[in-house]
Structure 1
């Protein structure tokens, strides 16, 4: 595994980072807890020492599964990344930006983006308990909240750094203006943003601004929630409550299939899967520090870790880039 420094922080993260959205089950058709625990530990055993989670993922379940899974492991050898600012329990009293309604276990929950100082402090204490740890390596604002000044949110995170409860501060889903505004008030370690062969918008402004200002980029959804694994085109059915039924509709699926058919021979030549090739390509893109990859079982965890071992020549990279640029 390759390990990379995150921006100006002292953190070194695994180039492939474990993404735990799916194991939370919310919007993913549920989860199998035993498989999730095995996926977490197998990831760590294969060098993926960085675990990214959030309270929203399963309304605390994802964090709890990570905390339970690693309770007997060397905490100093694991980097925990979590978030705050997506409130579902009504504790925001209607404050913040309404985001969406989520159906969970037969009940509807209104989700708000809320990043007030008081809420940051509250959520961190809850996350520490679920994660069974006394510090978080990287705390990230999950989504921008237009009702809370950026400086108020950053002030809260700086206080948490001073208290030793977090080691570094990051944001997520920030554009370049918001990102640089946040950095005026804190040593901003990173911005976690969507990036894949199918979504490259951050190449225009976010990545150049991050590179110039030494801010790390954490790329999420590099496999577009499984679409770029190719399994969807091989008849793998999704559960009715799986959000990907709607998510995939934003893409021209014929073009996506054509892309995968063009790059699959390279994966086969390397003895790799399509998902491994896509992950490797993503780790090589300018400005990208680490790449999130979810795993719901041991097999997926091992596959993700193996992506970094693929050796691509300049000619092979050119072939992949030509296929990506043809979209």
Structure 2
């Protein structure tokens, strides 16, 4: 596998395995978050060669960004990494709304810069469309921030095809991030081909389908947390998928790696995908994810894996 790739046409060079920081300091999203463990996980990520960190305001209401900024300042590694973050949420007590207004996005970038302890953000996403602000106006605000040097690339996350096309009216969109994995490949029909056509890099989140594609779940013992409400974790669908995942063990053994690494290595081969951002909430998970860089699959092996889930 290539050791470094460019994210689309942004000029940003990264290892193809990044770090999804949605569990770092995210007390609002997960229980039992230990910030000391989060800090050590970030330090180990840097030591293991991670150079692309993907955060968001909504991950801990800014706390994920703060911890990343703290560790980068402590280690002096800011110039060695590419930082991505996102904004759109307005949280007032228990009330959460979305905002894409130019003034809001401008303020969000300035606040994120302070939390990350940096004077530029490599990639800034609109986290969700607000359904009110014209998408091209929202992206236009980010383009002005790009021209001012506060951000280096413009991203959109969780936008529909129609909203994406409106947002990219002037060709300013550099990166699109959306939910994608081998078990829900629907975006291969429209969004990913559009990104390829437009020179936009597509970055999938949940590439391991919330753990379903790691091989750690047995058909007879599905997870009992939030995942049990999701369609792929229910009934015969869950049983069928776990059987397919288990069947990858022989291939994983041949490459002296894990099923998760086989899945990540396969996902990276998809046209339009330059980098994947599996999450990690412990040093052990970071080390496991980064072992994907040692996996090189043949075209036939990639087709074999992909055919399983078609």
Q: Could you say whether these structures have the same fold, taking a TM-score greater than 0.5 normalized by the shorter chain as the test?
A: yes
Q: Which residue of 2 aligns with 1:243?
A: 226
Q: Is the contact made by 2:122 and 2:153 (CA closer than 8 Å) also made in structure 1?
A: yes
Q: Which residue of 1 aligns with 2:79?
A: 76
Distance 1:289 1:176, change over 3 A: farther
Q: Which residue of 2 aligns with 1:262?
A: 247
- Return the offset for 1:193: 1.0
- Return the offset for 1:245: 4.0
Matched, 1:158 2:158: no
Q: Which residue of 2 aligns with 1:37?
A: 39
Matched, 1:296 2:281: yes
Matched, 1:228 2:213: yes
User: Following superposition of structure 1 onto structure 2, how do residues 20-99 of structure 1 map, counting pairs within 5 Å?
Assistant: 20-23=21-24, 24-71=26-73, 72-89=75-92
- Return the offset for 1:292: 1.0
| Greater percentage in strand | 1
- Return the offset for 1:137: 0.3
Match of 2:296 among 292, 311, 319: 311
Structure 2 CA distance for aligned equivalents of residues 177 and 199 of structure 1:
20
- Return the offset for 1:250: 5.5
* Residues matched between the structures, number: 305
- Return the offset for 1:56: 0.3
Deviations 1:25-82 (A, max 9, x none): 4333241212211222222222220000000011111111111111132322110000
- Return the offset for 1:8: 2.4
Structure 2 CA distance for aligned equivalents of residues 134 and 174 of structure 1:
27
- Where in structure 2 are there 5+ consecutive unaligned residues? none
Secondary structure in 1 matching 2:137? helix
Structure 1 CA distance for aligned equivalents of residues 187 and 115 of structure 2:
33
- Report the TM-score, using the length of structure 1 for normalisation: 0.87
Q: Which residue of 1 aligns with 2:157?
A: 172
User: Following superposition of structure 1 onto structure 2, how do residues 272-283 of structure 1 map, counting pairs within 5 Å?
Assistant: 272-283=257-268
Structure 2 CA distance for aligned equivalents of residues 64 and 211 of structure 1:
33
Deviations 1:238-268 (A, max 9, x none): 6x8x533434666521011111111121112
Structure 2 CA distance for aligned equivalents of residues 321 and 115 of structure 1:
36
Structure 1 CA distance for aligned equivalents of residues 108 and 171 of structure 2:
19
Matched, 1:201 2:186: yes
- Return the offset for 1:152: 1.9
Structure 2 CA distance for aligned equivalents of residues 26 and 283 of structure 1:
30
Q: Which residue of 1 aligns with 2:270?
A: 285
- Where in structure 1 are there 5+ consecutive unaligned residues? 90-107
- Report the TM-score, using the length of structure 2 for normalisation: 0.92
Q: Is the contact made by 2:222 and 2:228 (CA closer than 8 Å) also made in structure 1?
A: no
Structure 2 CA distance for aligned equivalents of residues 216 and 190 of structure 1:
5
- Return the offset for 1:236: 8.3
Structure 2 CA distance for aligned equivalents of residues 236 and 43 of structure 1:
31
Matched, 1:133 2:118: yes
**CA-atom RMSD in angstroms:** 2.0
Distance 1:245 1:31, change over 3 A: farther
- Return the offset for 1:278: 1.0
Distance 1:306 1:236, change over 3 A: farther
